Structure 1
């Protein structure tokens, strides 16, 4: 596995070593020892999630103000544009974002540590998105920042109005959001 720090260095793009031939392919999608070496700390995952979305769905930008979740995300079918936003007020990269194309074809994963808001936009006809989390889902602590926030200026590859959930449509502005210290 190759770990590539992004513009926000705590966010890592992980490229697995893929073995393939005319019969198909094989790769380790997760190796705990290698993952911890890449992130430089001990990490325990407690929950795996799987979502399926159709083209032009935008999910996010989600986070939990208590029980924050680190997320290791990947796509097993289709393609998405995945985004992590630093919402740690004490961070030198507070309010900055990074984005990456994750797809079944490229098999890349993104490590989004605790203290980040996360979202993705579906580029393919459908996409299946898997993610491991470091803490349990706690709906009472979940918050959402609006996807097109004027202060964050995320460069989503969107040329249509994205399909949003009611919750995501009502996301708060970044300047009004509850963030981490």
Structure 2
């Protein structure tokens, strides 16, 4: 398995070694020991989630605060998404910066997103099955996020905005500057 740190400290792209033959393929999607050796991070996943979405669905940018913060390991089981992680750790050198990675069923790439990051994705194929592991349980009282089209973040989602399908809840998320004020008050 190849583990590469992105430009954001603690955020990693993981590419498994795939073994294929006439029967199909096999790969190890996660190896805790190898992950910890390469990254120096200890992670214990406690919850798995999966979603199915059609072209244009944008989910995000979400995070959990405080004791409910979550690290995530995300991947696509079918289809293709543009996955985005935004560093919201005020003490970080890359605070307010983001990384965007194309995750597909074919490339089998995964993105490890540490605690303190907002996360979102948009489906760029006809349909996509999205799977992720979390190192903490979901807590609706600790939900937060940043609006997907915040101008200061300047995220290129890779599809026209008129094609985006966004929940009413996600359309009400605060701007990055408003989030900073909310977060500093916690």
Cα distance between partner residues in 2 of 1:37 and 1:158: 37
Is the 2:60–2:119 Cα contact (8 Å) retained in structure 1?
yes
Structure 1 residues 179 and 3, CA gap change in structure 2 (3 angstroms)? farther
CA RMSD of aligned residues (A): 1.3
Q: Which residue matches 1:34?
A: 34
| 1:1-181 equivalences in 2 (<5 Å) | 1-66=1-66, 67-161=68-162, 162-177=164-179, 178-179=182-183
Residue 38 of structure 1: how far off its partner (Å): 2.8
- TM-score, normalised on structure 1? 0.96
Q: Which stretches of structure 1, 4 residues or more, deviate above 6 A after TM superposition?
A: none
Q: Secondary structure at the match of 2:61?
A: strand
Is residue 52–residue 130 contact of structure 2 (8 Å, CA) maintained in 1? yes
In the aligned structure 1, how far is the partner of 2:116 from the partner of 2:128? 26
Deviations 1:1-23 (A, max 9, x none): 10111111311000000001232
SS in 1 for 2:38: helix
What is the CA-CA distance between 1:131 and the residue it aligns to?
0.5
Please say if residues 88 and 179 of structure 1, whose CA atoms lie closer than 8 Å, have aligned partners that are also in contact: no
Are the aligned partners of 2:59 and 2:120 in contact in 1 as well (CA < 8 Å)? yes
Measure, in 2, the Cα distance between the counterparts of 1:175 and 1:160: 22
CA offsets 1:155-175 (integer angstroms, 9 cap, x no match) = 110224210111101111000
Counterpart-to-counterpart distance in 2, 1:78 and 1:153: 25
After TM superposition, the score normalised by the length of structure 2 is 0.93
SS for the counterpart of 1:36 is helix
CA distance in 1, matches of 2:47, 2:38: 20
Larger helix proportion, structure 1 or 2? 2
Q: Does the aligned pair in 2 maintain the 1:16–1:107 contact within 8 Å?
A: yes
Q: Residue 85 of structure 1: SS of its match in structure 2? A: strand
Contact 2:85 2:113 in 1 (8 A): yes
Structure 2 CA distance, aligned partners of 1:179 and 1:108?
A: 31
Post-superposition CA distance 1:71-99 (Å, at most 9, x none): 00000010000000000111110000001
